[in-house]
Amino acid sequence: MTMPANCRNKRFLSVWGLFVLVLTCNSTERTNGSTVIDLQMGKNSFMKNETRGQFSAISYNIAGLPAIISSAKTPRASSIEAIGKKLQAFDIVHVQEDFNYHTQLYDGDDVHNYRTETKGPVPFGDGLNTLSKFPLSNVVRVNWDDCTGADCLTPKGFSYTRIQVALNVFIDFYNVHSNAYNTQPAATARRENIKQLSKFIREHSAGNAVVLMGDLNGRYGFFYDNIQILTKENGLQDAWINHKNSGKMPDASKVIPLANILNLSDSSETIDKIFFRSSETLDLQATSYSFLNNDFNNEKGLPLSDHHPVSARFSWQVKTGVKYGSDHLAKAL
């Protein structure tokens, strides 16, 4: 969660309760009280029997905290309304910090027929939502077991969603928002977040193609982070490393990274990441990667959030010798 550094101190925690009533009254949605949802929202969609295809995907921390505590520099309601319109250009969308302006995000969107329901504003929701032009199902929201400071004031974590990109062709999607800040206690909690996520993927997506996107708040280049275990333990590839860093993982340093992630270019590692992997039955490749540091600005050129989004284009193909199953693609006997 992107908040000013002084939000971690006791004074902030002691006055937090004074904001809760205001935040709740200003919120646009309420929690649905559900952790696991079998979701088939929106218009019915006829899925074609295809063996190959492509889709675009984007991950964006939209800074949907109430304006009074947001570090974004533009008005929140109108900025998130503008974000919602711009996101329509992408097939599959992951947003983080979708808290108190959720209605503005969803109301102007008439292209994503499948969307997760909000879990509510601060301090009730996790801020994670998925918008898709393909059918969603089996949404699971998982809270982190470890957190520090202001990150403990909302149920941050990750969500798991199965998306059907063609008839009987499924990909497991993960939307992630890890513990923030680079103090040693915060980095320790974040390492535990990544371990918890890695374990969940091993247990729930074994043998499946996967796309993982989100604000991981961590870097390969920071000595106290452990992002690399997602590649080592889960066979995931990083789209930025493949397309912008010559396939090389950055060297780790104990120097605390600069805080202003808005000044980065696509040649620099950002905390917003896109991972993917194929399966035995489905070849999944990221064919391009973009750090969108110009596309999501207002008319004055100011960023609409305190992050820039990251996006990738994917191609998929059913592998030779594979036949369709009723739920997953299954290898032919």
Its pTM stands at: 0.87
Confidence of residue 259 (pLDDT cuts 50, 70, 90): confident
Secondary element (H or E) of residue 57: strand 52-61
Domain hosting 268: range is: 5-331
Cα separation of 216 and 7, whole Å?
Answer: 19
Secondary element (H or E) of residue 206: none
Q: Bridge-partner residues for 318, per DSSP? A: 282
pLDDT digits (tens, 9 = 90+) for 24-41: 333 333 333 333 344 444
Confidence of residue 108 (pLDDT cuts 50, 70, 90): confident
Cα separation of 222 and 240, whole Å?
Answer: 16
Tell me what pLDDT residue 260 has. 83
Cα separation of 292 and 287, whole Å?
Answer: 16
Matching residue, tokens 């620099």: 268
| Domains contained in the chain, number | 1
- What spatial distance separates the first Cα and last Cα of the chain, rounded to whole Å? 47
SS3 187: helix
Residues 6+ apart with CB under 8 A from 2: 61, 63, 65, 71, 72, 97, 180, 306, 307
Q: Which CATH number does the domain housing residue 303 bear?
A: 3.60.10.10
pLDDT digits (tens, 9 = 90+) for 270-308: 999 999 999 999 999 999 999 999 999 999 999 999 999
